[in-house]
Amino acid sequence: MAKALDLEEQEQLDQIKHFWKKYGNLISWVLIVVLGSYAAWNGYQYWQRDQAAKAAVLFDEVERAVTAGDVVRVERSFADMKEKFGGTQYAHQAALLAAKALQAKDKAEAARSALKWVAEVAPDSAYRDIARLRLSALLLDAGSNDEALAQLSAPFTPSMAGLAADLRGDVMQVKGQKGEAVSAYQSAWQLLSDSPDYRRLVQAKLNALGLDPETASPATATGSTK
């Protein structure tokens, strides 16, 4: 009986050897690829965490510079953030923060540059939309109406679409295209149904142009839309 078991075990061993001889190389390579991918993934996750931690420290520096009103530090720390951690959300947040501080210190060109960078490179649509809205407003203030419209031409996310339409109406007003301004404000009024305070502001603009959005008809004692 023991001899029969020995023969059976030997047969199984021979089958294993045959299988390994035939597929062992392939299995080894598959294991190398799988384990290598796992190691690479862990390494990438560690790198991302390390980058985020370092970016957070530099973002704090930008924030402190903004709070202190030190525009030189704001520009320097934001430049460092952009260079070293430009792919992180911290960098895009820092750009929005820096742009606001730079604009307050009459450095409009630097503020526009920071916002344009976010609008072009941020993977998050919310950051892009905020940057485009603020950049459009700054361009409008600077008299660059066509550039402002260019920033407003691409689609916005639903939460930002009403604000973009309102700003587009402002640009059209400045350009003297009141019909287009009315159309933009009407769109904004409809899109801002969940923002009653902002909607009242848009309604006031429409009333000033001779239209009541509640009835979609000319308001009393107001100007022409032509």
pLDDT digit string, tens, across residues 173-214 = 999 999 999 999 999 999 998 888 989 999 999 999 988 887
- Residues 135 and 130: their CA atoms lie apart, in Å, by 8
Q: What is the pLDDT of residue 33?
A: 63
- Asked whether residue 2 carries a pLDDT value surpassing 50, the answer given is no
Is the overall model pTM greater than 0.85, yes or no? no
C-alpha torsion sign, points 173, 174, 180, 185: negative
- Residues 165 and 201: their CA atoms lie apart, in Å, by 13
Q: What is the mean pLDDT of the chain?
A: 82
- Asked whether residue 16 carries a pLDDT value surpassing 90, the answer given is no
